[in-house]
Amino acid sequence: MSLLDDEALWSSSVVANCAMNRERGLASYRRELGVSLPPASGVWVDLCCGSGKALAEAVRPGLAVVGVDLVDHHVPARDGLSFVVAPVDQWAPAGPVDLVTCVHGLHYLGDKLGLLTRVVSWLAPGGRFVANFDVLSVRRADGSPFGRALTKALRDNGFTHDNRRRLVGYEGSGVPRLPFVYLGADDRAGPNYTGQPAVHSCYEVLS
Ligand SMILES: C[S@@+](CC[C@H](N)C(=O)[O-])C[C@H]1O[C@@H](n2cnc3c(N)ncnc32)[C@H](O)[C@@H]1O
């Protein structure tokens, strides 16, 4: 199987296309992630934010909301709400973050596990990360899923994983080391559980 590097993936029609739902509002974010939103104060970073509709609904005094997306098409920024147009794979916040979310964005990334570990390094003490995550999207080079080897590695490194709701999360600070080496992405994986075409991310186990 030939695998894509990041540059090739970002220009794939699977990663940004008009059939994607980029318009979820705050109530939909709450349902998807099962968390109380918005946080009362601090810094909230939403990765793969789409239009930023949910973020615009969350703006309030004392809260700084930052949306990051590959596509430069979002609601207007204003006091308390800013946007960064960048691949999340290459972006990092300037300071500690209290809440990091990613609603149906990990499905389109190359190095999903690399992002999980980077995100944890951004969290302020007591901070939280939560994202939709399909374990079946993480594969070996031969295309087979890692199954329990992956969920065990996540839990061993302090991540929470809700298989029924397909959520991954982390609370507090830490230095997770997931023992996988990223090989590349496959944008021909077909639809995932959402019904939309998604990206498989291929790894080998670090020996
Ligand atoms: C299904 S949409 C979800 C948007 C938003 N979270 C929502 O629920 O309304 C996925 C988003 O991921 C973005 N995306 C895909 N790959 C990305 C990457 N490498 N870096 C940043 N954004 C990315 C797409 O541009 C798209 O806006």
DSSP string, 52-71: -HHHHHH--TTEEEEEEESS
State the Cα–Cα distance between residues 71 and 56, nearest whole angstrom: 17
Q: Specify the number of domains making up the chain.
A: 1
Contact 198, 108 (CB under 8 A): yes
Ligand 1 centroid to Cα of residue 179, in Å, is 26
Residue found by looking up tokens 């699977």 in the block? 14
- Domain extent, residue 80, equals 6-16+24-205
Question: What pLDDT is recorded for position 207?
Answer: 81
Question: What pLDDT is recorded for position 124?
Answer: 96
State the Cα–Cα distance between residues 55 and 53, nearest whole angstrom: 5
Residue found by looking up tokens 């999207």 in the block? 137
Atom 20 in ligand 1: residue holding the nearest Cα? 87
Mean pLDDT to the nearest integer, 78-93: 97
Question: What pLDDT is recorded for position 16?
Answer: 82
- Encoding tokens for residue 181? 């080496």
Ligand 1 centroid to Cα of residue 104, in Å, is 7
Residue type present at position 51: S
Kindly tell me the sign of the dihedral angle through the C-alpha atoms of 95, 71, 48, 108: negative
Given a cut of 80, whether residue 1 has pLDDT beyond it is no
Residue 171 covered by a domain = yes
Residue 118 covered by a domain = yes
Given a cut of 90, whether residue 141 has pLDDT beyond it is yes
Residue 172 covered by a domain = yes
Ligand 1 centroid to Cα of residue 207, in Å, is 32
Which region among 12-21, 31-40, 126-135 has the lowest average model confidence (pLDDT)? 12-21
Question: What pLDDT is recorded for position 79?
Answer: 97
Q: Tell me which of 85, 108, 118, 182 to substitute to probe ligand 1's pocket, judged by most ligand atoms within 8 Å of the beta carbon.
A: 108
Residue 1 covered by a domain = no
The reply to whether the predicted model has a pTM over 0.75 is yes
Residue 110 covered by a domain = yes
Please report, in angstroms and rounded to a whole number, the separation of the first and last CA atoms in the chain. 22
Q: H/E element holding 81?
A: strand 81-85
Which region among 1-5, 22-26, 76-80, 168-172 has the lowest average model confidence (pLDDT)? 1-5
Contact 184, 4 (CB under 8 A): yes
Question: What pLDDT is recorded for position 18?
Answer: 74
For residue range 102-138, list pLDDT tens digits in order: 999 999 999 999 999 999 999 999 999 999 999 999 9
For residue range 43-64, list pLDDT tens digits in order: 999 999 999 999 999 999 999 9
State the Cα–Cα distance between residues 111 and 114, nearest whole angstrom: 5
Question: What pLDDT is recorded for position 194?
Answer: 95
- Encoding tokens for residue 78? 């204003």
Residue 42 covered by a domain = yes
Locate the ligand 1 atom nearest the alpha carbon of residue 102 and give its number: 6
User: Which pLDDT band, with edges at 50, 70 and 90, does 88 fall under?
Assistant: very high
State the Cα–Cα distance between residues 100 and 130, nearest whole angstrom: 7
Residue 165 covered by a domain = yes
Given a cut of 90, whether residue 156 has pLDDT beyond it is yes
Region for residue 108 given its phi and psi (left: phi exceeds 0; alpha: psi -120 to 50; beta: otherwise):
alpha
Q: Strand, coil or helix: what is 170?
A: strand
Given a cut of 90, whether residue 20 has pLDDT beyond it is no
Mean pLDDT to the nearest integer, 178-184: 97
Q: Strand, coil or helix: what is 36?
A: coil
CATH number at residue 200: 3.40.50.150
Bridge partners of residue 132, in order along the sequence: 167
Mean pLDDT to the nearest integer, 38-44: 97
